[in-house]
Structure 1
Amino acid sequence: MRSIWGGIIIILAVAILLPTQAGAQPILTTRCTLDNRATNAEAEARVEWARKCGLLRNVGSPALTRNTGLAAANGGTLLEYDEADLAKNPTGDGVYTGPDYSFHVNETYVFAIYLSGPTYQNNDAFGFKKWTRDSWRKKGRTLYPTFGTTPNLTDFGNKQLFPHPTNTSDCNLYTDQAGTAQSVSTTFHVNGYCEAACYTPEQELLFSDGNVRILDAVNARREDLITLAPGATLDNLELQQNRTYSYTVEARDALHDIFVITTRSGGQLRVTNEHPVINGEGRMVQAQTLKVGHELVKADGTPDEIVSIEKTTHFGKVYNIRPVSTDLVSNVLVAQGFLVGSVRFQNDEVGYINRVILYRGTPAELIP
Structure 2
Amino acid sequence: MEFRLKHVVTVVGVLGYSTVASATILEQRCTDDSLDPAQAIQRNEWARKCGLTYNSGGVQAYFDTGMPAQNGGSLYEYSETTAGPASRMFSGDFQYNEINATYLNTIYLSSPITSSKDAQGFYKWTGLSTRVRPLPLYPTFSDNRDINSGTPLRPHPTLADCNLYKNGVAAPAFYVNGYCRASCYSPEQEVLFSDGPQAIVEARKAMREDLVTLTEDSTLDAIQLQTNQTYSFTEELRDTRHTLYEISTESGGHLRVTGAHPIIQGEGRLVQAQALKVGDELVKVDGARDRITDIRQTSYFGKVYNVRPVTAQPVTNILVAQGFLVGSSTFQNDDIGYINRVILFSATIPAEVIP
Give TM-score scaled by structure 1 length: 0.86
Partner of 2:354: 367
Partner of 2:201: 215
The 3 A distance-change label for structure 1 pair 116 and 354 is same
- Residue 165 of structure 1 aligns with an amino acid whose one-letter code is P
**Quick one: distance in 2 between partners of 1:24 and 1:117?**
18
**Quick one: distance in 2 between partners of 1:215 and 1:288?**
23
**Quick one: distance in 1 between partners of 2:82 and 2:123?**
19
- Residue 72 of structure 1 aligns with an amino acid whose one-letter code is A
**Quick one: distance in 2 between partners of 1:96 and 1:66?**
19
Q: Which of 113, 120, 124 is the matching residue for 1:126?
A: 120
The 3 A distance-change label for structure 1 pair 258 and 201 is closer
- Residue 125 of structure 1 aligns with an amino acid whose one-letter code is A
**Quick one: distance in 2 between partners of 1:16 and 1:220?**
15
**Quick one: distance in 2 between partners of 1:264 and 1:56?**
60
1:299 CA drift (Å): 1.0
For 1:34, what is the secondary structure of its paired residue? helix
Deviations 1:14-59 (A, max 9, x none): x96335796755223333222111x100111110110011111112
1:316 CA drift (Å): 1.3
**Quick one: distance in 1 between partners of 2:32 and 2:12?**
12
1:282 CA drift (Å): 0.9
Q: Structure 1 residue 18 and structure 2 residue 14: aligned?
A: yes
Partner of 1:173: 164
Q: Structure 1 residue 349 and structure 2 residue 335: aligned?
A: yes
Q: Structure 1 residue 139 and structure 2 residue 149: aligned?
A: no
- Residue 107 of structure 2 aligns with an amino acid whose one-letter code is I
Q: Structure 1 residue 81 and structure 2 residue 78: aligned?
A: yes
Contact 1:199–1:318 (CA<8 Å) still a contact in 2? yes
- Residue 256 of structure 2 aligns with an amino acid whose one-letter code is R
Q: Which of 70, 77, 101 is the matching residue for 1:107?
A: 101
Q: Which of 27, 38, 43 is the matching residue for 1:41?
A: 38
- Residue 367 of structure 1 aligns with an amino acid whose one-letter code is I
- For structure 2, the 5+ residue unaligned runs are 1-10
Q: Bigger CA drift: 119-128 or 41-50?
A: 119-128
- For structure 1, the 5+ residue unaligned runs are 1-14
The 3 A distance-change label for structure 1 pair 288 and 200 is closer
Partner of 2:8: none
1:85 CA drift (Å): 4.8
1:121 CA drift (Å): 1.9
1:131 CA drift (Å): 1.3
Partner of 1:265: 251
**Quick one: distance in 2 between partners of 1:259 and 1:23?**
33
- Residue 34 of structure 1 aligns with an amino acid whose one-letter code is D
**Quick one: distance in 2 between partners of 1:292 and 1:201?**
24
Q: What are the equivalent positions in structure 2 for 1:198-347 lying under 5 Å apart? A: 198-347=184-333
**Quick one: distance in 2 between partners of 1:164 and 1:364?**
51
Partner of 2:4: none
Contact 2:193–2:211 (CA<8 Å) still a contact in 1? yes
Contact 2:183–2:306 (CA<8 Å) still a contact in 1? yes
Q: Which of 150, 165, 170 is the matching residue for 1:158?
A: 150
Give TM-score scaled by structure 2 length: 0.88
**Quick one: distance in 2 between partners of 1:138 and 1:215?**
30
- Provide the identity percentage: 51
**Quick one: distance in 1 between partners of 2:12 and 2:223?**
32
1:325 CA drift (Å): 1.9
Contact 2:185–2:258 (CA<8 Å) still a contact in 1? no
**Quick one: distance in 1 between partners of 2:127 and 2:194?**
38
Aligned residues: 342
How well do the aligned residues superpose, as a CA RMSD in angstroms? 2.4
